[in-house]
Amino acid sequence: MNEPFSFRGLCPATHTPMNGDGSVNLAGIGALAAHLSRHGLKTVFICGTTGESSSLTLAERASLSDAWAKIGPEHGVKVVVHVGSNCLADARTLAAHAERNRADAVSMIAPSYFRPRTLEDLVACCETVAGGCPRTPFYYYDIPGMTGISGFPVDAFLETASRRIPNLAGVKYSNPDLDAMRRAASLQGGRFDLPYGIDERYLDALDAGARGGVGSTYNFIPGVLRRLVEAHARGDRGAAEAEQARVPAVVETLARRGYLGAAKALMREIGVPVGPARLPNGNPTKAELEAMLGELDAMGYFSWKD
């Protein structure tokens, strides 16, 4: 019998491969899956923020779910499908689709144009979508920096939501409030899974009890995060802090050129082409890319990224 799914270790939030014209390139998924598996990354989080989900059509998101359902197992990779949308009916449709594809878990951000006003409204949004995949572990995706949804501490959410969502497994937690995370980790005998999603603070999250992480930087600095986790596990604080310090340096270098487009350009430079970012995200110019690569080289990136 298979063990219940949970986030353990590092789970990359994957890019959506695209062609030069901005169309989705399903053929690019195999190389991406092989790259991640080769670095020991055995779970992926698809169609999330890094995957530009809000810029994809419903049909494109379903096709990505289909493709990963086939390609993931071929590489020994578990697949978590993000289904969140401003349209709850679309999100529920994608959740049901993911369950038919035997996704290992489903996650969602709440609608963020018309935002839930109360905790009860937020839980109702999640309940609606989770009901589309009743046999699949469900994770709310808390990322206030992108959605603007705040004021609902994760422990309060879990207390309320667990009474209404039978398949609630936890929260994909990209929120700087680690005190609330600590409180949530002790709820109901520690039953909830709280993978952390702010890469620049992953060491702090490990100190707070995180057992897994979901992040975009795992795609292009997998060695840094792996060594950070290993150093933390053996109690080597100095080594863990040194590795953690590399993460914001890389993130800031990319962010100056538009983070998602720059990250996808960097993937091409390390041999894993995932195409350009789709508007409204932009892509670095040739000069910007050359400057970015020069800054990364100066900090030693190409010697320690793996």
What pLDDT does 1 receive?
40
**Tens-place pLDDT, residues 81-129:** 999 999 999 999 999 999 999 999 999 999 999 999 999 999 999 999 9
Q: Tell me, what's the pLDDT at 3? A: 73
From the list 172, 198, 287, 219, the residue with the least C-alpha distance to 28 is 219
Statement: residue 256 has pLDDT above 60: yes
Instruction: Classify residue 225: in a domain, yes or no.
Output: yes
Domain assignment present for residue 269? The answer is no
Find the catalytic residue in 139, 140, 172, 196.
172
pLDDT (0 to 100) of residue 229: 97
| Bond prior to 280 in cis (omega within 30° of 0) | yes
Tell me the pLDDT tens digit for each residue of 8-47.
999 999 999 999 999 999 999 999 999 999 999 999 999 9
Amino acid at 268: R
Residue 91 lies in a domain: yes
Q: Domain containing 59: what range?
A: 9-236
Helices (H), 12-85: 29-38, 58-74
pLDDT for 62-92, tens place per residue?
Answer: 999 999 999 999 999 999 999 999 999 999 9
- In a domain, residue 266? The reply is no
Write down the pTM of the prediction: 0.96
Place of tokens 């000069």: 287
Closest alpha carbon to 181 in 146, 172, 189: 172
CATH number at residue 37: 3.20.20.70
- pLDDT of 166 > 70? The answer is yes
For the segment 145-160, what is each residue's pLDDT rounded down to a tens digit? Answer: 999 999 999 999 999 9
- Pairing mode, if any, of strands 168-173 and 212-215? unpaired
pLDDT band per the 50, 70, 90 thresholds, residue 2 = low
- DSSP-assigned letters across all residues of 65-119: HHHHHHHHHHTT-EEEEE---SSHHHHHHHHHHHHHTT-SEEEEPPPSSS---SH
Number of domains in the chain: 1
Q: 250 in a domain, yes or no?
A: no
pLDDT of 267 > 50? The answer is yes
- Tell me whether residue 189 is in a domain: yes
Look over the chain and give the mean of its residue pLDDT values, rounded to a whole number: 97
Active site residue 172: yes
DSSP string, 186-207: TGGGG--B--B--GGGHHHHHH
pLDDT-based confidence at residue 258 (cuts at 50, 70, 90) = very high
Quick check: is 148 in a domain? yes
| Model pLDDT for residues 194-249, shown as the tens digit of each residue | 999 999 999 999 999 999 999 999 999 999 999 999 999 999 999 999 999 999 99
149 within a domain of the structure (yes/no) = yes
Given 139, 140, 141, 173, the catalytic residue: 141
